[in-house]
Structure 1
């Protein structure tokens, strides 16, 4: 209901500039449009891969919070009468609040300096730090600190990465489609996150191993942003 309330004014009131008629729909051209050559557009490919790795860290970190609180923190024993789900709500609130200032500040600094890559890199490293906290500590306080760091890192990343991606789109005529391809990196990470995390959690390494791998994904994604050459 909230989605409908928020989107209806845009759909009803927004006016788009006149556009040329679209060519006839072709299923073959539609399917071919999902491929953007990494050789011809390497910066677009690096941005796609960087985003997938960093959002993979988020998918693994957020997706297993409930189980981490139950199995490692023993939340219900620490707070009798409370449920693990209530603990997750607290951490999600900390994550959200922790993202507000870093999101606004990173976007403002990036616009002022004209530099995108440093903010994306810093956001990825901050997310890696959040995951590393949970590899070494299993207290409620460490979970709160990790949630705040994860929110701050993801806020910095998502604010500037989206701006950076709009500067890397291969063709003006295909902006909507190419942004859709970039968004597929989010879907891929949300799909792969549980597939990768589940065997790690149930292995001898447990949660420390899973969060360590998540931190490695964030570092890799942050580092790949330096392979992008057409933006600063």
Structure 2
């Protein structure tokens, strides 16, 4: 990733947002791990900055599972792969975890970072694939919350162009250059599910686990927002 985006560039981005990091000790030092953040900011800066933090602060090179839009053509797929992006499919996630890699997966998908700013910090419904991955591979889930991206990139609305391409959503941003809002990224305590691979067949259990993780992250978001004195 850092052959394309040198570390000093990401450090400038980090300083621009005056990024505060908390809970980095919750990232496993080795072995598979699923980092599951909320998704915000239509440009996806959170994904790149998270990868940088995990590389520098946790000494892990994560595989970032991203929207299939990046892989529609060779023109976009090649730089995406060089940046460490992997198409967000269940198989790809499991394959990386079986290789003992850490992955970053956004349970909200594009519904999170493309939602209108008026819904900021309202978690959208989680997709349940990351829970199934954890059950199949025995990997811990590390919930992660990102504060600041919502205000730095204002999105007025979005256009759903599913008639032309399945799942295609386009944001309608107010600003292109991100505002210098203070960011905070907090890693919550890892969750080790006490179930084996056979639990993948229990859809009610998977739904319950997913809802509990979403509620935990939503509560953590609200708690952090109450602590903020200013966004700048």
* Structure number with higher relative contact order (C-alpha < 8 Å, ≥ 6 residues apart): 1
TM-score normalised according to structure 2 size: 0.30
Structure number having the greater strand percentage: 2
TM-score normalised according to structure 1 size: 0.30
Structure number having the greater helix percentage: 1
